[in-house]
Amino acid sequence: MKINARVGIITLLVIGLMMATVSTGFSAISMNIQVSVEREVKVPPKAQSNIRAITKDLILKSFKADVGKSSMVLAETKILSQVKGGFRCETRATFLYKKTYTAVMNLIRWNYVRGKATNIRTRKNYIPESEIKLQIKEGIKPSKQIKEKEKLIRAPKGKAPAEPAAATKARLKTGATQLRGGKVRTPWYKKAKGFANCPVGPSYKDAWNLTYYIAYVMHWKTHAAYYARGSAASVTNNMNVFKYGYQLRYYSNIGHGCPYGLVMSDGWVLASMVAPPPYKWGVVGAVLFVNSCNAFKLPLRAAFYPGNWARVYISGKTPLYVGRSEWVDAWFWYYGLAKHKPANVALALGIAWTTSHKGYPGTFGITGYAPSSSF
């Protein structure tokens, strides 16, 4: 697949949320509503405008408590098909809670018939199914912590990694094998040149599967990449990588976060834990992609750069869409490591692909002492 680099860079520069302030009667919040149409479904512009307005009303009436707890609502209504007198619609609304910095997605299925909403069904705490499932072998179990004798990803020698999208169609011929030679004198986090992790479970299929893919690309490049999913993505394992990962070059985390820290499986990695003194030598000179909402904001961003002089630090400048933003992460590593693109170009291409194939993922920020260089 060929993507024009210039278009990708422009996408990075201009992409952003167009927010409309909505009065709810109890507070004023930012609500972003998008309407998309499935292929081969013809919808008049006036009907699309009406559906956008009805979407706002449905969210305010159906999930009043969630709206009241939120600082922002991100909603997308997809027009799925035609029905008698109108269209079948599905709305996914993500609520960003003010106090806990968490995101909750709710679902509304409804019909737009003769200018009104009918047959309304709602579902709270909705986790979307992945549109494309990665067919890969199971790696370490999410309940198992990484230890000195843990498993290392093995990539076929001389074979470049497939594109993230292509990897969904072909079984990755990678296994997991325990390190040989008995007792490993050097802990894994001191040997690791790449580390990819996500603290969520397999119900978040994109985060779960793409973490494995990212580690695969890292290992293809370095021959020393580890990964942790679920409970193995713990505070201890991440802080060991940050503090003692003397050979670390590449780091990826897909999960939850806020300006003050990152959520791991058993607690928080706070900005104050990462910031020097002392220096976190795993961060110094490394490329880090933290796929978390608002994690590009201070003080967390400063803890990585300039606090610990990360070569590149990338994270969300805004709330990020679940099921979309993870693909930016995967494409970034593909373009950066497999195609040797500079970091800012790799990010732009990743955003361009995701926006074209999955929808708007959110806005990312990039900084560091060499964000425009190859890595």
Q: What is the pLDDT of residue 362?
A: 85
Asked whether residue 96 falls in the same domain as residue 159, the answer is no
pLDDT at residue number 223: 85
In a domain, 7, yes or no: no
Q: How many CA atoms lie within 13 A of 270 on its CB side?
A: 3
Assess whether 178 and 299 both reside in one domain.
yes
Tell whether 375 is covered by a domain.
no
Least confident of 109-118, 141-150, 364-373: 141-150
pLDDT at 247: 95
Please check whether residues 210 and 322 belong to one and the same domain: yes
% of the chain exceeding 90 in pLDDT:
42
> Does residue 116 sit in the same domain as residue 31?
yes
Q: Does residue 183 lie in a domain region?
A: yes
Lowest mean pLDDT of 131-135, 292-296, 303-307, name the range. Answer: 131-135
Helix, strand, or coil (residue 215): helix
Give the residue from 116, 93, 85 showing the smallest Cα distance to 35: 93
| CATH code (residue 321) | 3.40.50
Residues 6+ apart with CB under 8 A from 250: 193, 194, 195, 218, 221, 222, 225, 286, 287, 288, 333, 337, 375
Note whether 107 and 219 are same-domain residues.
Answer: no
Number of domains in the chain: 2
**Residues 320, 284: contact at Cβ < 8 Å?**
no
User: Which residue is listed with tokens 């961003």?
Assistant: 301
Query: What is residue 162's predicted lDDT score, i.e. its pLDDT?
Result: 76
pLDDT tens, residue by residue, 38-96: 888 999 999 999 999 999 999 999 999 999 988 778 788 999 999 999 999 999 887 77
86-97 vs 103-113, strand pairing mode: antiparallel
Containing 216, the helix (H) or strand (E) segment is helix 205-222
Cβ atoms of 233 and 255 closer than 8 Å: yes
270 occurs within a structural domain: yes
Range of the domain at 222: 151-367
Least confident of 1-10, 41-50, 74-83, 121-130: 1-10
How many CB atoms neighbour CB 204 within 10 A?
Answer: 22
Residues 178 and 80 in one domain: no
Q: Say what the pLDDT of residue 112 is.
A: 97
On average, the pLDDT of the chain sits at 78
Q: Does residue 372 fall inside a structural domain?
A: no
Q: Which two tokens stand for residue 280?
A: 């976190």
Q: How confident is the model at residue 146 (pLDDT cuts 50, 70, 90)?
A: very low
Asked if 126 and 107 touch (Cβ cutoff 8 Å), the reply is yes
Q: Of all residues in the chain, what percent are helix, strand and coil, respectively (each to 5)?
A: 30, 30, 40
Cα(83)–Cα(101) distance, integer angstroms: 39
- The pTM (predicted TM-score) of the whole model is 0.62
Residues 109 and 212 occupy one common structural domain: no
In this model, does residue 268 exceed pLDDT 80? yes
Question: How does DSSP assign 24-89, residue by residue?
Answer: -SS-EEEEEEEEEE-TT----HHHHHHHHHHHHHHHHHH-HHHHHTEEEEEEEEEEEEEETTEEEE
Please name every residue paired with 78 in a beta bridge, in sequence order, or none if there are none.
36, 90
pLDDT tier at 343, thresholds 50, 70, 90: very high
Q: Quick check: is 144 in a domain?
A: no
Report the distance separating Cα 119 and Cα 300, nearest Å.
Answer: 45
CA distance 38 to 87: 11
Tokens of 141: 């179990």
- Assess whether pLDDT exceeds 70 at residue 373: yes
Q: Is residue 374 part of a domain?
A: no
Residue 171 lies in a domain: yes
pLDDT at 231 over 80: yes
Please indicate whether residue 206 or residue 287 has the higher confidence score (pLDDT).
287
* CA–CA distance, 145 with 39 (Å, rounded to integer): 45
Cis geometry, peptide bond prior to residue 202 (ω within 30 degrees of 0): no
Residue 227 pairs in a beta bridge with 196
Instruction: Please check the confidence at residue 279 and state whether its pLDDT lies above 50.
Output: yes
Same domain for 61 and 204: no
Provide the pLDDT for residue 185. 56
Q: In a 10 Å sphere around its CB, with 0-12 CB exposed, 13-18 middle and 19+ buried, how is residue 366 labelled?
A: buried
pLDDT recorded at residue 158: 55
Kindly tell me the sign of the dihedral angle through the C-alpha atoms of 254, 255, 259, 262: negative
Q: Are residues 97 and 156 in the same domain?
A: no
Range among 154-168, 259-273, 307-321 with highest mean pLDDT value: 307-321
**Does position 28 have pLDDT exceeding 90, yes or no?**
no
How many DSSP H helices and E strands does the chain contain? 10, 17
Residues 184 and 115 in one domain: no
Rg, the chain, Cα only = 21
Distance CA 308, CA 273 (A): 12
Residue of 255 and 182 predicted with greater confidence: 255
C-alpha distances in angstroms, 233 versus 176, 193, 264, 288?
18, 17, 6, 16
